[in-house]
Amino acid sequence: MPVKAEELKFIEAFRTGISQVNAGDTILHEQKPNGKLFTLYSGWGFRYKTLSDGRRQILNFLLPGDFIGLQQKFADGAMHGIEAVTDVSLCVFPRDGLWELFRNHPSLGYDVTWLAAREEGMVDDHLLTAGRRNATERVAMLLMHLFRRLERVGMAEGGQIEFPINQQHIADALGLSLVHTNKTLRRLRQLGLHEIENGKLRLLNTRALERIADFYDTPPPQVPLL
Amino acid sequence: MPVKAEELKFIEAFRTGISQVNAGDTILHEQKPNGKLFTLYSGWGFRYKTLSDGRRQILNFLLPGDFIGLQQKFADGAMHGIEAVTDVSLCVFPRDGLWELFRNHPSLGYDVTWLAAREEGMVDDHLLTAGRRNATERVAMLLMHLFRRLERVGMAEGGQIEFPINQQHIADALGLSLVHTNKTLRRLRQLGLHEIENGKLRLLNTRALERIADFYDTPPPQVPLL
DNA sequence: CGACATGTTGAGATGGATCAACACTTGTGG
DNA sequence: CCACAAGTGTTGATCCATCTCAACATGTCG
């Protein structure tokens, strides 16, 4: 989405710097929020929460273009962690600059709100999935969801996408056990619906997956970028 | 939270009017978004999504002070409905006024974002609940969650709150079946943890409920109001 | 009075969890 | 170069939390 030159300049000035994080590292610790804000430039990450006995729920996956950290800043004590799946590069914004941004560039503030609302929409979807879909539907949903998102940011090539997450990630995102995730994934593969190989996901029958997941996507007109 | 007089005036001018909705009526239809924005003045409501075969997931409950409709405005096709639990009065904002608000009163825009982020934080919690807690933990969580929220808006009197939702609502919010919700609720009651009677909820052992749910609340400093 | 919403309870079925192996790959230190 | 540990995927056996089905009770309302 186009941004005015002036706004772009402000964004440039606004950001503190670019930061690199290695695969598997924690970007934001669950217990100690730091109020920083990020935009994900490249790589995959995820937001998660854990119960005190270690059960983990992945809230959503973070892909290039995602804006991160609003909930941390505002949430009522309810914290989440962020972890890098692959090596990741982040654009870091200062802890207290958000108000500046709203004041000086309301249109950017508007965009931030847009992004926040879009992310909440995604979490809404995942809640429906975890609450009301069965294992097969959940897996189909996740595959379609991620595939479509990658498509939108232009990261689908030749009908396949990079797929750096493992079955434990999938299980934690869907609220399933690792073993059952494996069996469900395998069943879908044997039905010829998808293939995961060498860290690539290829969907072989999106029609069927959409039907199973009861997932029908409407791409948004255009997405703001920060 | 205090608001400047000038801002208050803008809010007054901004709103289209106040609207009343009867218990059980749909405030916002799942399939046809209208882009309107609301603030809930009084009563209870909830946001929900349904699968095409009718399975319903309640995304969160709406209580006085909640700001509604952002996701509808921005979501990528992913829609949700809103229904009134009790009779409800709403402050209605015009469909396209949000940008005006951001431009003329950045601080109000900032507040909107705050509210959006806080709501996402709540959905995050519910996703953790639906994905990783068992039935007992879920029910304990819901009771604590709602009780604390009502407390914060000053609607807890004498250790009890209005509790207008029925077991079907609870089941749909937690991703459980109606029957199992009933049995779980009953077990907690027989343990002396709570009482629901005549539309009132009384928590008899919040300590135990918190422990079961693994839920420890940190109230936010102050909440903006629109 | 009957229709309807809501809550309650039991019996049986089942989807998914848990437990326990094992295979394969990769990286590491000796 | 090999031995070994660690991470990941796979599979079978068994268990159990939750779902489904089916009744029945109660209160409200026309």
B57: domain CATH number is 2.60.120.10
Chain centroid, CA A214 distance in Å: 20
Q: Could you give the CA distance from residue B42 to residue B45 in angstroms, rounded to a whole number?
A: 9
A118 domain-assigned:
no
Residue-wise pLDDT for B99-138, tens only, equals 888 888 888 888 888 888 889 999 999 999 999 999 999 9
Q: Provide the residue range defining the domain that includes A76.
A: 5-106
Q: Could you give the CA distance from residue A120 to residue B122 in angstroms, rounded to a whole number?
A: 10
B14 domain-assigned:
yes
Q: Does A148 touch chain B (CB under 8 A)?
A: no
Q: Could you give the CA distance from residue A203 to residue B119 in angstroms, rounded to a whole number?
A: 34
Which chain A residue has its CA at the smallest distance from B69's CA?
A117
- Exposed (0-12), middle (13-18) or buried (19+): which is A151, by Cβ within 10 Å? middle
Residue-wise pLDDT for A6-54, tens only, equals 667 776 667 778 899 999 999 988 887 777 889 999 999 999 999 999 9
Q: How far is A60 from chain B (nearest CA, A)?
A: 9
Beta carbons of B121 and A219 less than 8 Å apart: no
Beta B160-162 vs B156-157: how paired, if at all? antiparallel
Instruction: Tell which phi-psi region holds residue B36, choosing left (phi > 0), alpha (psi between -120 and 50) or beta.
Output: beta
Q: How far is A55 from chain B (nearest CA, A)?
A: 7
Among A59, A87, A106, identify where a domain stops.
A106
Angle of helix A167-174 versus helix A106-132 axis, rounded to 10: 90
Beta carbons of B123 and A122 less than 8 Å apart: no
Same domain membership, residue A99 and residue A137: no
- Is residue B128 within 8 A of residue A51, CB to CB? The reply is yes
pLDDT of residue A76: 61
Same domain membership, residue A163 and residue A98: no
Q: Does B154 touch chain A (CB under 8 A)?
A: no
Same domain membership, residue B190 and residue B102: no
User: Is the CB of A179 within 7 Å of strand D?
Assistant: yes
Which chain A residue has its CA at the smallest distance from B130's CA?
A131
Could you say which residues 59-78 of protein chain A have a Cβ atom less than 7 A away from any atom in strand D?
none
Average pLDDT over residues A196-213: 96
Same domain membership, residue A93 and residue A29: yes
- Is residue A142 within 8 A of residue A176, CB to CB? The reply is no
Structural domains counted in chain A: 2
Q: Burial letters for A207-226: b for 16+ Cβ neighbours within 10 Å, e otherwise?
A: ebbbebbbbebeeeeebbeb
Nearest nucleic acid nucleotide to A174, CA to C1' distance: C16
Q: Could you give the CA distance from residue B51 to residue B159 in angstroms, rounded to a whole number?
A: 37
